[in-house]
Chains A and B, each alone.
Chain A
Amino acid sequence: MIDFGFSISKSSHIKMDDVDLKLFNKLEALNPDIKTCMACGLCTATCTAGKFTDVSFRQIILMLQRGKEKEAVEKVKKCMMCGKCMLVCSRGINTRNILLSITRIYNEQNI
């Protein structure tokens, strides 16, 4: 076969049909307040670590729900556990506890 130098790009779609939410459901069962995020961005705006890295609580939660578990867990590693996001959250979400739960649940599965 002649190589014309063309290839097919990998799809950037999130394939929701293939997303396995088993771990997220476990996380959600432990922290039901995770459902109440309204994406106002306060957690990210106030985040001290987020000023220098790509850590963003709001995005982490969304990524886990869209099957981007590896990327989310990478982001969590940059959190300094200062808890400012918990102080500002308009919905009163216990962000610190959720971050600790993510570390526990996803690390057990070596993600």
Chain B
Amino acid sequence: MNTHKILIIGAGPAGLETAHQLKSLGLTPIIIERSDKIGGHLAQWDRLFPSSDNAEELLERLKEQVKDVEIKLNSRINHIEKEGDIFHVTLSNNKTYDVSAIVVCTGFDLFKAEKKQEYGYGIYNNVITNAELEKYFKTHQDERIDEPKRIGFVHCVGSRDVKVNNTYCSKVCCATALKQACEIKDEFPDADVYCFYMDLRMFGKGYEDLYLKAQKDFDIKCVRGRVCEVSENIEGKLVIKAEDTLLGTPMKMTLDLLVLMCGMEKAEGVERIQNMLNIKSNSDGFIESRDIFTGLNLTKERGVFVAGACTSPKTLPETLAEARSAAIEVFKYLSIEL
């Protein structure tokens, strides 16, 4: 059994957890990662919803679990050839591996906020993204965040929007917005913080508590209406327009800082890997699982598995759970089917 090598594409939470589980099952996982560091988006995050747990601590735990696993950073796949049930994989450094299974853990990209030009990202200085705010919480260095008195969060940026061809819900932005709203309020207690939402999808354990905490303890004000446009007034402040749909009235508001909750999109460059592995995309552009009930980690291609947000937007606990189930699927495949 332990002669079997398994290639894991991506060193984010899904890849790390899959590798850890495969290793515990006595197999030999190899992780390849195109960037120069481990952790994916988790490495960019400061705290995690719903309870503001430390992201770095979680990443350290995940890293600790794979300390005996071979991880190739700055590596891309050049070529994959399947011979029987063996995949011959050639990396960008021309190193080759013969593996019995491949687990795709390529995750997601955050929606590029500049695509929604009406929100003024990259045009107006005080429009930032959720990822940039998270970076600020980590480093406290961002000159755009300068004692803001009024802060707005726009939910569903690049999600549930036919105009950018992303009709799905990104699932994590509602909770992230309220988490970040509480955190920035904590930092600037005199600021008024508004969240512009369409639906607050607080579906997970502790999310509704977070919503209640945001209202009760942090005085976060939620407005039901999608922001339609952002402009700048003569003083350089942001002016946003939305409808307060519960009141049925259009509204205008001046803000010092606007945070765009960018949703999840399929990761760039994954199509190339999909073509090499002969696996298709689903209707949202993510990788298609064999079936969403009993074959979530499987693809239509024998020996090719998937885990995490490469198949659809997912929370971290879901991603990690899926990584563990992927490891079982791989184990089952290698011990029974091969």
Contact = CB atoms under 8 A, between A and B. Distances in A.
B160 A46 contact: no
A82 interface: no
B62 to A, nearest CB: 36
Size class of the A contact interface (CB-based, 8 Å): 20 to 34
A41 B162 contact: no
Contact of A45 (B160, B162, B198, B250): B250
B225 A38 contact: no
A92 B160 CA distance: 11
Contacts of A56: 243, 248
Contact of B228 (A38, A39, A46, A51): A46
B161 interface: yes
A100 interface: no
Nearest to A90: B161
B162 A91 contact: yes
B222 interface: no
Interface string A82-93: 000000111110
Interface string A46-86: 11001100001011000000000000000000000000000
A40 B228 CA distance: 10
Interface residues of B, number: 20
A47 B198 contact: no
Contact of A41 (B160, B163, B226, B229): B226
B35 interface: no
Contacts of B162: 89-92
B5 interface: no
A8 B163 CA distance: 50
Contact of A46 (B161, B241, B244, B245): B241
Nearest to B245: A41
A44 interface: yes
A89 B167 CA distance: 12
B248 A42 contact: no
Contact of B226 (A42, A47, A59, A92): A42
A89 B225 CA distance: 13
B242 interface: yes
Interface in B226-249: 226-229, 241-245, 248
Contact of A59 (B163, B241, B248, B251): B248
26 contacts: A39-B198, A40-B198, A41-B228, A41-B242, A42-B243, A43-B243, A44-B245, A45-B226, A45-B227, A45-B228, A45-B242, A45-B250, A45-B251, A46-B229, A47-B250, A51-B250, A56-B243, A59-B248, A88-B118, A88-B163, A89-B163, A90-B160, A90-B161, A90-B163, A92-B162, A92-B163
Interface of A: 38-47, 50-51, 56, 58-59, 88-92
Interface of B: 118, 160-163, 198, 224-229, 241-245, 248, 250-251
